[in-house]
Amino acid sequence: MKTNKKTTSNCNPFDFLTEEIIFTILDYLNDDPFAKKSFSLTCKALYSIESHHRKTLKPLRAELLSRTLHRYPHIEHLDLTLCPRIEDSMLNVVSLACKDALFSINLSRSRFFTNIGLSSLVSSCCNLVEIDLSNGVELNDLAAAAIAEAKNLEKLWLSRCKLITDMGIGCVAVGCRKLRLICLKWCLKVSDLGLQLLALKCKEIRSLDLSYLQITEKCLPSILQLQHLEDLVLEGCLGIDDDALSTLQQSCKSLKTLNMSNCHNQSHVGLSSLINGAENLRELTLAYGPAVTADLAKCLHTFSGLRLVKFDGCLVKCSGVRAIGRWPSSLKELSFSKCSGVADDSLSFLVQAHKELTKLDITCCRMITYDSVDSITSSCPSLTSVGMESCSLVPKEAFVLFGQRCELMEELDATDTKIDDEGLKSISRCSKLSSLKLGICLNITDDGLKHIGSSCSKLKELDLYRSLGITDEGIAAVTSGCPELEIINIAYNDKITDASLISLSRCSRLRVLEIRGCPHVSSKGLSAVAVGCRQLAVLDIKKCFNINDNAMLQLAQFSQNLKQINLSYCSVTDVGLLALASMNRLQNITVLHLRGLTPNGLAAALLTCRGITKVKLHASFKPLLPKSLLDYIEALGCVFHWRDKAFQVEIDPKGWKLHFGKSPEAP
């Protein structure tokens, strides 16, 4: 009997589960890498099962690539964006380890590989359907020719591959006939000829990004003949003007999304020719383009399927806004961000016609008042997202209307407005609220935040930048009622102390924390955050003078997910920086005016931090560091940014006081 009892007690309950059931359990852990790691370390059996389950891999360091791929033999999606230096030999390792299993690879943040490595990759991994080579500024036509051997390729990103010419694009066009998406943004040597060949050979293209290419109207007829084209981006294509577009006979009938932002040489005349016949058009972006006039609105009148329109940065005429209000289509999303000329009467007329709006952006529309908000909230009760930063004429009473009439609200940007505690009390009725931006809102206090904390349990992002009426009490109210908080900005709030950070340490999902210019926080508070917020990835503690090495030691031990940190003006020394340098995921660090930092300490930290990709340093350090050291670090893929900024003692710059009309000399 004793033997049987002992055998039963040592039995692993997972032995009774099939591999499929365990795979289902692991699927639920995909968003939590630490939980997945803990699961795999439980026993040898689960370690082996987790190895076979993993299909996506994002390695931290290139030198561990061979060992990692051996550990995970069934990788389908490989993301190398955390590995700045990827040489041809490493791509050869990938090709030998993954072979037919690999479907996609992301090399958009990697450098130093050539056409030789790419040729090895595509020849062995014949099932590749997605390759991202964005930012490959050193890649040329030979690299494009290597990619052309990927016969099953469906998606290709070549953004900023500035050395690739029409010849390289021609190779891709001939070799990759199954392409459905290609991004050529900033490929400045690609001209009409390359695009004509691409359109001729790759008939399956659905998405085409030609942003900032030096092309003319010559390539457009071929492009618009693509029968499956749905998404076309012509942003910043200055060579395409009204005269060129007027020669077009008909647009692509399958086109659903068109982006013509920053096309300064076009008006409604050219736009009308380009979209003529595009009966399936759903989304249109004309940011920083032609003026929004009645003529422009009239040429879009017949597109009954139009659901999203963005006019960001355009000059807006009242007649144009009213004409949009007469469209037969019912818009879902509309943006007038940073548009001059948007007024109450025309905007009110528009929203009364488009009652199904769910997203509206009127950022920096400084002419609108209470009347606009009254019309918006009464006409569009289904709004889920509203951006109204710097709408300075909107009174505090108007914000109450959002809570009374738009209870489905999920995102509200009220930065630099007159919103007060009564407005927040009303908005707290929006139980689905996930993002709330209240930067530079001087009328809100802890009382308003208490309402948000008590009712908005799904809040994930909160911006309180320079909202000077907030104290530890308000932060505590939010953290106790909003356990899903991921992003918070409390920078330049002089009433914030360690108590706020201790409260935030309860938010285990916190990823981004900005506390720059909070003089009363110290290592005690930040240490609590390090222990409680294991998912912390971005941290800004600039001008937090009381934060020292003690906090850095805690971050190094507990916040292993940290990727970006700004230490400028803190009391961190060589010891603290070396501790941070031991963190595997740290990529981006800003180190300006650290009085306790020495050239030797900085050099040691740079040598220790193997995954670093960007370092911002004061220019005074450059002559103090050996050139051979800097060359070595740069060869690993790191980019140095040297700054020659004078030391600033003030937390609140004079420019900030002038923003509120105060005298810099005023006490």
Does residue 46 fall inside a structural domain?
Answer: yes
Domain-located, residue 32? yes
Kindly state the tokens that stand for 563: 């990727």
Structure tokens at 205: 């293209």
Rounded average pLDDT over 199-225: 95
Q: How many residues does the chain have?
A: 667
Is residue 240, in this structure, part of any structural domain at all? no
- How does the average pLDDT of the chain come out, rounded? 91
Whose CA is closest to 494, among 468, 473, 525, 457? 468
**Residues 232-254: pLDDT tens digits?**
999 999 999 888 787 776 778 89
Residue 647 DSSP code: P
pLDDT digits (tens, 9 = 90+) for 529-580: 999 999 999 999 999 999 999 999 999 999 999 999 999 999 999 999 999 9
User: For residue 6, what pLDDT band results from cuts at 50, 70 and 90?
Assistant: very low
Q: With contact defined as beta carbons under 8 Å apart, do 2 and 10 qualify?
A: no
Integer Rg of the chain from CA: 28
Give dist(CA 487, CA 135) in Å, integer.
Answer: 28
Task: Name the pLDDT band for 15 (thresholds 50, 70, 90).
Answer: low
**Using N-to-C axis directions, what is the helix angle for 115-124 and 88-98, rounded to 10°?**
0
35 occurs within a structural domain: yes
pLDDT score recorded for residue 442: 96
* 53: pLDDT strictly greater than 60: yes
pLDDT average, residue stretch 62-82: 91
- The domain containing residue 26 runs over which residues? 20-50
pLDDT at 661 over 50: no
- Count of domains forming the chain: 1
Q: Express as a percent the part of the chain with pLDDT over 90.
A: 79
Residues 317-365 pLDDT 10s: 999 999 999 998 889 999 999 999 999 999 999 999 999 999 999 999 9
Say yes or no to pLDDT of 608 above 70.
Answer: yes
In the predicted model, is pLDDT for residue 11 greater than 90? no
Which helix (H) or strand (E) segment holds residue 155: the answer is strand 155-157
Phi/psi of residue 493, nearest 5 degrees: -115, 105
Would you tell me the crossing angle of helices 574-581 and 549-558 to the nearest 10 degrees?
Answer: 10
- The DSSP line for 324-357 is HTT-SS--SEEE-TT-BT--HHHHHHHHHH-TT-
Identify which of 634, 661, 592 has the alpha carbon closest to the alpha carbon of residue 112: 634
| Contact yes or no for 416/444 (Cβ under 8 A) | no
Whether 26 maps to a domain, the answer reads yes
40 falls within a domain: yes
Band of the pLDDT at 12, cuts 50, 70, 90? low
pLDDT per position as a tens digit, 369-428: 999 999 999 999 999 999 999 999 999 999 999 999 999 999 999 999 999 999 999 999
State what percent of residues in the chain have pLDDT above 70.
90
pLDDT of residue 537: 97
Lowest mean pLDDT among 166-180, 205-219, 649-663: 649-663
Q: Alpha carbon of 135 to those of 49, 104, 208, 606: distances in Å?
A: 36, 17, 17, 24
Residue 264's pLDDT is 87
d(CA 332, CA 486): 28
pLDDT grade, residue 657 (50/70/90)? very low
Lowest pLDDT segment from 330-339, 431-440, 637-646: 637-646
Residue 666 counted as domain residue? no
Tell me, yes or no, whether 373 lies in a domain: no
Q: Is residue 213 classed as helix, strand or coil in its secondary structure?
A: coil
pLDDT for 666 equals 36
